[in-house]
Amino acid sequence: MSDEIATNRKASRDFFIEERFEAGVELRGTEVKSIRQGKVNVSDAFARVERGQTWLYNLDIQPYDKASHVQHEARRTRRLLLHKREILKLFAYSNQKGLALPILRMYWKGQHVKVE
């Protein structure tokens, strides 16, 4: 079973959800530790397809408290891990007028962080 990390309640209210995709997120070590502490906000996060890759924007992961001098940016752009056919489908959706790719929730699936 998956464990919920954060949800975007605003997205389900403001957008009509036509289809859902599960994607992995490429993260750094301090980002995973911050997520385990619950220091994440997905309310402004959205995805965009660029140059054959899917990217995650405005995902706010606060810096890890116990890290050394090496920290991550809180709102850096992160790559979403999807199959090629899913990326092409998202690209087609994003090119239609008026359609957006909001992040609905973030959760653990085993030891991996996933977004929907």
Q: Sorting pLDDT into bands at 50, 70 and 90, what band is 2? A: low
The fraction of the chain above a pLDDT of 90, given in percent, is 53
What is the reported pTM? 0.85
Question: The domain containing residue 63 runs over which residues?
Answer: 3-115
Number of domains in the chain: 1
> Which range is most confident: 32-36, 64-68, 83-87?
83-87
Half-sphere exposure of 18 (CA within 13 A, CB side): 9
Give pLDDT, residue 1: 44
Question: What CATH number is associated with residue 78?
Answer: 2.40.280.10
3, pLDDT greater than 60: yes
Mapped onto helix, strand or coil, the DSSP state of residue 74 is: coil
Q: What single-letter DSSP state applies at residue 109?
A: E
For 57-67, what is each residue's pLDDT tens digit? 999 998 887 77
Token pair for 54? 């899917």
Q: What is the pLDDT of residue 29?
A: 83
Distance between CA 37 and CA 20 in Å, rounded? 26
Cα 78 from Cα 41, distance rounded (Å): 14
